[in-house]
Structure 1
């Protein structure tokens, strides 16, 4: 069942050290408290729980991303060291379902763009944006867009893109949702020609 490792040993070490540093470093004063305060260990348990929940979420989104990129359950299972069936049972259907198209509340019309992959989603959003649709939600294999009276542009950046998200927001980009690992999505209304 095992497969050839895709990460070098030093990459594995950097990931493990990065996760440990994040768990120890995020709560204010936690590392120092462990030297003298028994309650610091309870904070460590809580911080580690949050870290485990987040890495579990990232793994689910990474698996859905691999599936959206066209990889089979068999391939995903081999990477995880489990059978195809075990991978599928654990990770299939763990993303939010696309919302139904249209509206029942009298609000703007909504449409679900699906099936999409990491390779064609931005082209689909560019086309929808030109037609006045803007991104309001997303998940594995889909984007939900909402109608408006003007065109939009969309972009995505990796969650690890440092301060780029602050620059985008300073340029008028609006973050949509909290991100879908490894991406963060943005939108902004296009200015009419002559108002640039």
Structure 2
């Protein structure tokens, strides 16, 4: 089965060059050391292994993102160049990979009340978080098709940015936004309290 190429040749080259640059840049001076240091080739193998693991994780999360955006297993399989069944067998079991924050205090037994917002998609999750935030719930965990929120005594606001926008992420953190987990490709989620009067 042949995949449906959605990227052009230049985009494909840009991704490949970016991955190669990231692997070679993992250690200061790695590329230059390859000219004379046999040990550096083993470091290159290790850096490539980490790159391959990260690429695999990104692919799993991208597939779950496509599913959350409403695409069928048949469509995802065509893009990957495999059958619907093969795509589903490889990636459906990965939906349980979730990002969850540590429990916080408050509420019965020392833990604040939590609830799951589900089913969510890439297109309605922010509206669901906005509504929950107005009611005093804030994001503490997430995964494919769901968000976990925790009760508090103040309203919250939430936003998401692409993981590629590191400059914006740093700026947001100086503005009081709190990152939630490490991100769910391609998004990183943030929250911040609005305060008792909801001034912001």
Structure 1 stretches of 4+ with a deviation exceeding 4 A read: none
Per-residue deviation, 1:28 = 1.9
**Aligned equivalent of 1:69:** 69
Gaps of 5+ in 1: none
In structure 2, what is the equivalent of residue 37 of structure 1? 37
Alpha-carbon RMSD: 1.8
Matches within 5 A, 1:173-188: 173-188=177-192
Alignment of 1:144-163 (within 5 A): 144-163=148-167
Q: How many residue pairs end up in the alignment?
A: 193
Secondary structure of 2:93's counterpart equals coil
In structure 2, stretches of 5+ residues that fail to align are: 101-106
TM-score w.r.t. the length of structure 1 is 0.93
- What is the CA-CA distance between 1:26 and the residue it aligns to? 1.9
Deviation, 1:97, is 6.1
Residues 193 and 179 of structure 1: is their aligned pair in 2 closer, same or farther, counting only changes over 3 Å? same
Show the 5 A alignment for 1:27-176.
27-96=27-96, 106-176=110-180
- How far apart are the structure 1 equivalents of 2:4 and 2:81? 10
Relative contact order (C-alpha < 8 Å, sep 6+): which is higher?
2
Q: Partner residue of 2:104?
A: none
One of 185, 191, 197 as aligned partner of 1:193: 197
